[in-house]
Structure 1
Amino acid sequence: MTDLDAPGRPTQRSQAKADRRAALLDAAAGLFADRGYNGVSIEDLGSAVGVSGPAVYRHFASKQAVLAALLVGVSESLLDGGTTVEQDSGDPAGALRALIAFHVDFALGAPDTIRVQDRDLEALPEEDQREVRRLQRRYVELWTRVLGALHPSLAPDELRVRVQATFGLINSTPHSTRVGSSHVADAEVRPVLERMAWAALTSR
């Protein structure tokens, strides 16, 4: 039996494997965010998705490999998604608004991953750290290119500062959307973040 029962169509077995891998990554994001990378064991990861610790090794070679898949994967997704947004937009202003909406979607949908990135990137092997940073630089360059097309008078250094500051603003959501024991609804947070990001990027 192969992994495809028709061209481009996964078998039930391969789909189940992909689903389990995705579930492990989702569980890892939550556990690493709550306890820190060093506070989570392979057994904890397996238990979170209803399998034994050793069964995790069918999907990942090590706990570090789980962390690498999580952080490299999200950096790849941001770059790929941002590239699509840029290509599908008709003008710089529209592209910038679409990039802001895209990144706000990410921040609201993956707050645990943001927390893991902030705290546990150094737990990755150096090669994986370099790959994450390489992908992130390309993502920053994409935003800088779009902003520069909208405001060609701004110097490259200022463009990068504005973009990085905007990421800091949007990526603060794992902390800024929590008020005491309450959580501000995404529907209330989104328009505020989008307005503030636009202002930060385009102010004179």
Structure 2
Amino acid sequence: MPAQTRFSGSPRGAAGPSRREQILREAGRLFAERGFHGVGVDEIGAAVGISGPALYRHFAGKDAMLTELLVGISSRLRDGGLRRVAEAGAAGLPPLATLDALIDGHIDFALDDRDLITLHDRELDRLPQEERRQVRQLQRQYVELWVEVVRAAYPDLPEDQARAAVHAVFGLLNSTPHLSRRASLPDRDGTAALLHRLARAAFAAAPAAAGA
């Protein structure tokens, strides 16, 4: 499946992205490819088939697009994680199965939204202070959700070591944009399965590492 940006409000199977969502998707792609300052509103407009000035019907400017993209990444990850944990709890799944659900959700993000990972890494500091604080708060909530699940799956793992393991797995999964070329990857399902095995191996090794 080609990489694509999915925003809250346009889940799989929806009728199609709105004009606003199209603008965000193309802005994210262009910002990731060429940097925030390397892209003009006319280019973003051309990518979605409208004039640059017409973008201002949807956004106040490029800064507003960047803010919505970066806050949206963290909000969507946190909300998706909360939903998966709630669904696993309602189904009575054991902690390891809940962890599997979190891993699979983050892998979907890492493979389908590589442009947004690149954008976050490069451009987060451009956000105004309050919005940057909001992103950091959402990220902390997402991390702590994982820490809780990891400690339920591995009760002997100290909290600080569980948190370190979560950050290490995020680093692994979020490294997909840095692969040489997307075309060089194996098929998506194969890549997702490999990433899942590596993430589970990292968590399984954490208790032994903590006791070393």
Same-fold call, TM > 0.5?
A: yes
What is the TM-score when the length of structure 2 is the normalising length?
A: 0.84
Q: Distance in 1 between matches of 2:152 and 2:170?
A: 19
Deviation at 1:91, TM superposition (A): 1.9
- CA-based RMSD of the aligned residues comes to 1.7
Q: Among 150, 158, 168, which residue is 1:147 paired with?
A: 150
Residue segments in structure 2 that go unaligned for 5+ positions in a row = 1-14
8 Å CA contact 2:75, 2:138 repeated in 1: yes
- The structure-2 alpha-carbon separation of the partners of 1:40 and 1:175, relative to structure 1 and needing over 3 Å to count, comes to same
Deviation at 1:177, TM superposition (A): 6.4
Q: Among 99, 110, 116, which residue is 1:107 paired with?
A: 110
Number of residue-to-residue matches in the alignment: 188
User: Which residue number in structure 1 is paired with residue 97 of structure 2?
Assistant: 94
Structure 2 counterpart SS, 1:52: coil
In the alignment, residue 139 of structure 1 is paired with which amino acid? Y
Cα distance per residue 1:4-33 (max 9 Å; x no partner): xxxxxxxxxxx99x7000000110111011
* Higher relative contact order, structure no. (Cα contacts within 8 Å, ≥ 6 residues apart): 2
Cα distance per residue 1:106-155 (max 9 Å; x no partner): 11110111110111111111111111111010000000000011112212
8 Å CA contact 1:82, 1:142 repeated in 2: yes
Q: Among 177, 187, 190, which residue is 1:188 paired with?
A: 190
Q: Kindly report which structure 2 residues correspond to 1:1-204, keeping only aligned pairs within 5 A, or say none.
A: 19-89=18-88, 90-176=93-179, 178=181, 182-203=184-205, 204=208
Residue segments in structure 1 that go unaligned for 5+ positions in a row = 1-14
Deviation at 1:185, TM superposition (A): 2.6
Q: Distance in 2 between matches of 1:80 and 1:63?
A: 25
Deviation at 1:182, TM superposition (A): 3.0
What is the TM-score when the length of structure 1 is the normalising length?
A: 0.87
8 Å CA contact 1:177, 1:184 repeated in 2: no
Deviation at 1:188, TM superposition (A): 2.3
In the alignment, residue 137 of structure 1 is paired with which amino acid? R
In the alignment, residue 204 of structure 2 is paired with which amino acid? T
Q: Distance in 2 between matches of 1:189 and 1:48?
A: 29
* Structure richer in strand, relative to its length: 1
